[in-house]
Structure 1
Amino acid sequence: MVSPLFLLIHAFKCQNPCFSVSGNNYLWQLMVGGQWLKIENDHVIETHYCQPGAKGITINTSIGKVFIDFDELKTDSAALKVRRLSFVPQGQAEDIAWYYRDDDLWCEYGSQSSNMSSTSIHSKDIEMHFSQNPRGTIQFTIGLTTYSLDFYTMTQINLATGSCRDVRRRPKFTLNDVGAVQLGSALQMLSLGSQPQWQFEGHSGAWYKFKHRYGTLTECSLNSNEIERKYQQNPTDCITFTVNGYPYKLDFASMIQINQTTNYTRRIRRMLV
């Protein structure tokens, strides 16, 4: 396993509540000795925090190794506190996504799940209810089934069967002043407890894992693990493969899949599950 990322912490006092010094709409800080200190290169933390499958991140700082728990926004050190500040223009709200775990994937509410069912409620609807009562519940339907979402326990319950799924609330990551090469290099240095998984976007907007599908019209010559090995070698490179004999290319820098016969493109993504 590679070493955890070394992140510097600098003293920083927020003078203006409308923006951060980096120009981003977020700011990660650690409290050290009673003072909140800015974490340099906090875009690395942010990009993983925005992934619903990421449970946390381990970093090395000038005061020792620290694990940041994303679900509870706390560290494993009694002496260190962590917080994430959000900066949005007055009258606007941060773009928040709500996800539920569908088998081994995290699906955003409103998108189609692996069984091709879509929810009757979207992230913005859930966020509106959450802002009004962060410990409340709401009900919605998927197909003919009614579910309850409990904000306090962060779970989704099937009211007919009682089965339960985990739920997560995460901001959507926006790349501002961080280049793809810089970000990709930084991501390779992270020590995370989650498994990377590569997915492509289907026609319906649902996301599917790259995997071998032998003997089908979607037979693929590579799988998610093979893509990850190539990505670790160079996060701005490309990789070629075939689907049912037709040539395709994955562009890591642009995060797209290209049909080299038709030039049709699809979005791809790297999730932590």
Structure 2
Amino acid sequence: MIISSLLLFESNYSYLRTQQWHLFDGQQWSSICNDHIIESHYCQPGARGMTIDTHLGALYIDFDAMTVRGPFAGLGIRREMLLSHNQTQEVGWYFKDNSYWQEYGTQGTSSVNSQTLEQWYNTNPEGSFQFTVGRSTYVIDFSAMTQTRRSTHVLRKVRRRPKFNSSVFVNDRCPNTPSPLSTSINSSMGITWEFMGEEGIWTEYQKPGCSLDSIDIENQYQLNPHGQLTFTAGRYSYTLEFSEMFQINSTFGTKRHVRRTTGENHYNSSALSQIQWQYNDENGYWKDYVKGSARGSCTISSQDIERQYQQNSTGSMSFRTGRFNYILDFSAMIQTNMSTQTKRPVRRLLQ
């Protein structure tokens, strides 16, 4: 696609922006007017690049390599973030499934989502990340931006792109008055919204099973912490009350407790409580291991699992939930029902 309305010049053209695109003409960097057009294309996971028409001639921007080609040598392109210390931008991670780009976690079957990948990427942009889907194990290479299925060695392309005009977290307090919220929201510690499930297990709001996720809820909460919002899950509608922290089924009037957790909730506690262990249930949702005293409750918690993991990270441990016994294999990151032999992926998260 050729965009002919982009001209290079320093200007005071202003709108609410979180980034700025610049072009290097061989001598100096210049801002690009109407660069929101470039940004909107860059945010599309299927866009390899685009051609813009400038006073330097037609220039092609390669989004993956972040390079520019044109009639002159020595040209350069860069995307500068304009976020303050207490802001962040939502980033999507995608893999190419045949001819289509799919976001991780949106199909309800993947054991990983964009938020998790972004956390690991920020920890080590040159590293890798391993996850499982069913019985298959995959490895994402951040430096090569590829995904490999270990059993078949099938390779798929991966892309990391910001979400266009995505909401950012803004703290309105004076910079000299730090807020617990602003200090806990960064690239590796986010906000998680969960409801109490039928089995007494805290379950995160996740798409596509639910019409919104933690990010959507947090955006509304920031606008009005004492308000409410409506959403759907399956064929039912719900209302989430922020002031009382519960959700109501609009059909049956059933109420469930809701909680909002941040990285700071665990930051000052012991090292064990900073780790969260979760399993992937039959619906593709990640659920916490929650220890309880009631009949049918799980006999272990995340802290119990982490304590055993620290003693032997390649070993295993057994536990019981209801009438079933399970084995948790740390090396394979799988839990197995000893009666049915059903296997479920397990993950270990730093909160």
2:7 matches 1:8: yes
Matched with 1:246 is: none
Counterpart mapping for 1:173-188 below 5 A: 173-174=164-165
Aligned-partner Cα distance in 1 for 2:26–2:208: 52
1:227-266 → structure 2 map (5 Å cutoff) = none
Q: Distance in 1 between matches of 2:147 and 2:2?
A: 36
2:29 alignment partner in structure 1: 36
Q: CA deviation at 1:140?
A: 0.6
* 2:142 aligned with 1:142: no
Within 5 A, what are the aligned runs for 1:20-169? 21-77=14-70, 78-112=73-107, 118-169=109-160
Query: Which of structure 1's runs of 4+ aligned residues deviate more than 4 A?
Result: 202-206
TM-score with structure 2 length normalisation? Answer: 0.45
With structure 1 as the length reference, what TM-score do the two structures score?
Answer: 0.57
Structure 2 gap segments, 5+ residues each: 168-206, 212-351
d(CA) in 1 for partners of 2:11, 2:3: 24
Instruction: Tell me if the contact between 1:12 and 1:36 (Cα under 8 Å) persists in the aligned partners.
Output: no
State whether residues 49 and 60 of structure 2, in contact with CA within 8 Å, keep that contact through their aligned partners in structure 1: yes
1:169 and 1:175, CA in 2 relative to 1: closer, same or farther beyond 3 A? Answer: closer
Do the aligned partners of residues 205 and 144 (structure 1) sit closer, same or farther apart at CA in structure 2, a change above 3 Å counting? farther
Per-residue deviation at 1:34? 2.2
Give ranges in structure 1 of 5+ residues lacking alignment: 14-19, 177-201, 207-273
Identity of aligned residues (%): 40
TM-aligned CA deviation for residue 165 of structure 1:
0.5
Q: 1:175 to 1:91 in 2, by over 3 A?
A: closer
| Structure 2: distance between partners of 1:171 and 1:3 | 22
Letter in 2 for 1:125: T
User: How far does residue 33 in structure 1 lie from its aligned partner after superposition?
Assistant: 4.0
Aligned in 2, Cα 1:39/1:174: closer, same or farther, shift over 3 Å? same
Query: What letter is aligned with 2:56?
Result: I
**What is the distance in 1 between the residues matched to 2:14 and 2:96?**
35
- The equivalent of 2:180 in structure 1 is none
What RMSD over aligned residues (CA atoms) do the two structures have, in Å?
2.5
- The amino acid that maps onto 2:64 is D
> Secondary structure at the residue paired with 2:9?
strand
Q: Could you tell me which amino acid in structure 1 is paired with residue 62 of structure 2?
A: D
Q: Which has the larger radius of gyration?
A: 2
Contact 1:110–1:122 under 8 Å retained in 2:
yes
Higher relative contact order (CA 8 A, sep 6+): 1
Would the aligned equivalents of 2:18 and 2:82 in 1 still touch at CA under 8 Å? yes
Residue 119 of structure 1: CA displacement?
1.1
Asked if the contact 1:111/1:205 (under 8 Å) is kept, the reply is no
Distance in 2 (alpha carbons) for counterparts of 1:130 and 1:3: 32
The 3-state SS of whatever aligns with 2:126 is coil
Deviation at 1:121, TM superposition (A): 0.9
Distance 1:60 1:3 in 2: 7
Distance 1:29 1:142, change over 3 A: same
